[in-house]
Amino acid sequence: MRPGRVAVSFGATILDAEGTRLSADEKALFRRADPFGFILFARNLESPDQIRALCSEMREAVGRDCPILIDQEGGRVQRLRPPLARDWPAPLDFVARAGGRAGRAMYLRYRLIAHELRGLGIDTDCAPLADLALADTHPFLRDRCYGADPATVAGLAREVARGLLDGGVLPVLKHLPGHGRAGQDSHLALPRVATPREDLEATDFAPFRALADLPMGMTAHVVFEAIDVAPATLSPVVMGLVRDSIGFGGLVMTDDLSMRALAGDRAALARAALAAGCDVVLLCNADLATRAAVAEAAGRMTPAAQARAEAALARRSRPRPLDIPAAEAELSRLLCGQSDDGIG
């Protein structure tokens, strides 16, 4: 920082772009709003050179090395697909195939994903999921999960996060404090969960408690009727639970405010989410005017949110060395049920 320059907090938003390059209007908005970071979708991804150029434009617009996020879980939720990146089976199927070697397999899977992302200028992946795959979990989420046992899910999610961090990519833990009991797709409707709090604490919330040290997390647009009438993203009670009972100390971002689980004006929703205790709001697939209104409503991060943002960014590091052919060969052996002494 130059002598005499006053430190300014980041904008309390994560925004997206309409196409493969920023428009002049988008550049102007992003300079003014200074979002904490950006998120990419399939419409933004055309070629390696184009993706790197878009990431550079985003960072130039805010004048710093801001995080650029993507949903690259594998299965149905992977924005990058061949030939831009490897294709992966759904996580639940992948874990079942790996069996007792699932921990190492998940580490290698996400270490390879991190390698691909970093090569394109992307440094944050919206994974791992710590949601439980239960009997009533909606199909939109179920095969994205890692299992039904809280301890197993926590262990696998830890390996996902470790693989990403070792590859120089920040993980985003989803979906605080747990989306697994939701019987509806929150993209389309607001799920309600009637499970007693003591049961939630012992099951759904447990994996998140075990992963409370991760740098970033994303909320669930779910109503927990035993706790509050408002969805978790907008509930001071649930967000207090996330901080206190679960003990999550990282940066908390909302899930997309454009999802139909949340009704109402997007700018008002942004204010409500931040008032509830979220640090930053995520807005996707909105027109320029809505993005501008949400950015204005969200304003700048609070000092506490800024400190968590800076702590999260400090977890970014240079990737550890990785022998790609050896990692791919080991992963293949793990998925074929063969033992391996490991690499690196």
Active-site option among 143, 149, 185, 187 = 187
- SS3 state of residue 59: helix
Per the annotation, the verdict on 187 as an active-site residue is yes
Which residue reads 């408002």 in tokens?
230
Tell me the sheet residues that pair with 15.
38
In this structure, the strands spanning 77-78 and 72-74 are antiparallel
Asked whether the beta carbons of 190 and 262 are under 8 A apart, the reply is yes
Distance in angstroms (rounded) separating the CA atoms of residues 10 and 191: 32
Asked whether the beta carbons of 60 and 38 are under 8 A apart, the reply is no
Tokens of 290: 């809505």
Which residue reads 């990519």 in tokens?
169
> Where does 150-218 have alpha helices with state H?
150-166, 197-202, 206-210
Active-site option among 34, 131, 255, 256 = 255
Per the annotation, the verdict on 179 as an active-site residue is no
Reported as type and span, the H/E element at residue 105 is helix 102-119
Asked whether the beta carbons of 309 and 67 are under 8 A apart, the reply is no
Count of CB atoms within 10 A of residue 63's CB?
Answer: 10
Report, as residue numbers or ranges, the catalytic residues. Answer: 187, 255
